[in-house]
Structure formats: structure tokens, C-alpha cells
């Protein structure tokens, strides 16, 4: 199963990705986690990424596409994977389609977790208290949301045109939302 988990910041992608990875034993690939690890390790890539992440802007396509290209070649991703936080632009989606086409495979489903803006801000500010992520301040969150609506949400029609978009209501408890996602995954 090759899956993309899609949704605004704070929709619960990370939490639901862990639930999916546990149940379906699939490789969980999060560009946000990989970039945060690079920042923590103080690599050149990390330094570059941090300047964008701190402002809630997207890291350039060429950088994240390179990361994903290497990552999906790894052995644990051969049978399938779940992408969390990638693609985020049409350029990234097109690059992904090409990468997969050259291997003769494609995306089975794009699960889009739908949450309204007012709920997102509340959830992220709550997460900030627990996890202390530097890009979870109110100002940066608002920018991340704007970037999502402007640059990432248009991807829904890209995948809808390919017939793989599955929208899931992201309101309610973690268990309720996972139940809805699970139902979608059982059907693909």
C-alpha cells in the first residue's frame, strides 16, 4: 500500500500516521520529522531548513524532493509506505508521480484529514504546551495554515483527478478519526 496522509497542520497527521503504521506495518515517512532531525544534528541541510521552518514557510522543493527520492529507495519502503507531510506543492506531487512511474508503481490513496481553521489553531497551541515545537507559536501557525491553503490544498484536485483522493472528517476523538481512516484503508 502506498499512501499519502494529507491535511492542514494540526489535523493529527502525525498521531494518525503512527496508528496506521502500527496496524498496517508500513514505513512511516515524515519530511517534517526528517527535517527536524537534520536541524537537531546541525547539518548543512538542517541549517538551511531551519530558516524556512522557523517562519512557517516551505523548504524549497528541490531539497525535500531529494530527501524523499533517497528515502523511498530504502528497503523498508519497497513494499509500501505512508508519506506524512509530503507532497506539499504541485511541483513535489509531480516529482513524486515521476519517481513512482519509473518504478512502475503509483499512489493507492491520498487520505485527507479535514479540520476547520478555528479548531486547528486551538489544537496546535495545545500541542505547543506539550511538545514545545518552535514553529507552533500563534503567528507561525497562522502562516503555516495560510501556506497550506495557498500551496498545499490545491493538490487535492491533482489527486482527485487521479481518482485516489479520500476525504475523512478529522473532527472528534483520535479513535473516531482513526476509525474513519481505517474504513477507507480497508476499502482500497
Shortest reach from residue 187's CB to ligand AMP, in Å:
26
Among 5, 31, 109, 145, which residue interacts with ligand AMP (rule: CB under 6 A)?
A: 31
33 Cα distance to chain centroid: 10
Whether residue 71 lies in the annotated active site: no
Side-chain-side CA neighbours of 10 within 13 Å: the count stands at 26
The catalytically annotated residue of 55, 133, 142, 156 is 133
Binding mask of the shown chain, residues 73 to 92, with x at each position contacting ligand AMP by CB under 6 A: ------------xx-x---x
Q: What share of the chain is helix, strand, coil (3-state, %, to 5)?
A: 60, 15, 30
Q: Which is nearer to ligand AMP, 174 or 179 (CB)?
A: 174
Min CB(36)–ligand AMP separation in Å? 7
Residue number with CB closer to ligand AMP (45 or 184): 45
Q: Which residues between 57 and 76 bind ligand AMP (CB under 6 A)?
A: 57-59, 64
Closer CB to ligand AMP, 56 or 170, in the complex: 56
Q: Give dist(CA 152, CA 89) in Å, integer.
A: 5
Answer yes or no: are the C-beta atoms of 50 and 141 closer than 8 Å: no
| Rounded distance between C-alpha atoms, residue 128 and residue 149, angstroms | 21
Amino acid at each position: 500500500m502506498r499512501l499519502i496522509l494529507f491535511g492542514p497542520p494540526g489535523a493529527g497527521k502525525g498521531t494518525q500516521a503512527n496508528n496506521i503504521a502500527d496496524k498496517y506495518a508500513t514505513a512511516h515517512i515524515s519530511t517534517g520529522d526528517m527535517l527536524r532531525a537534520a536541524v537537531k544534528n546541525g547539518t548543512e541541510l538542517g541549517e538551511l531548513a531551519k530558516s524556512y521552518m522557523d517562519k512557517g514557510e516551505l523548504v524549497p522543493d528541490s531539497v525535500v524532493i531529494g530527501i524523499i527520492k533517497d528515502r523511498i529507495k530504502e528497503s523498508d519502503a519497497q513494499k509500501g509506505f505512508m508519506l506524512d507531510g509530503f507532497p506539499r506543492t504541485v511541483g513535489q506531487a509531480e516529482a513524486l508521480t515521476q519517481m513512482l512511474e519509473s518504478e512502475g508503481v503509483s499512489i493507492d490513496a491520498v487520505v485527507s484529514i479535514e479540520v476547520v481553521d478555528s479548531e486547528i489553531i486551538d489544537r496546535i497551541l495545545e500541542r505547543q504546551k506539550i511538545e514545545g515545537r518552535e514553529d507552533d507559536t500563534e503567528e507561525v501557525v497562522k502562516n503555516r495554515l495560510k501556506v497550506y491553503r495557498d500551496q498545499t490544498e490545491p493538490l487535492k484536485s491533482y489527486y482527485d483527478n487521479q481518482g485516489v483522493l479520500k476525504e475523512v472528517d478529522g473532527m472528534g476523538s483520535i479513535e473516531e478519526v482513526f476509525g474513519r481512516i481505517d474504513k477507507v484503508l480497508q476499502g482500497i
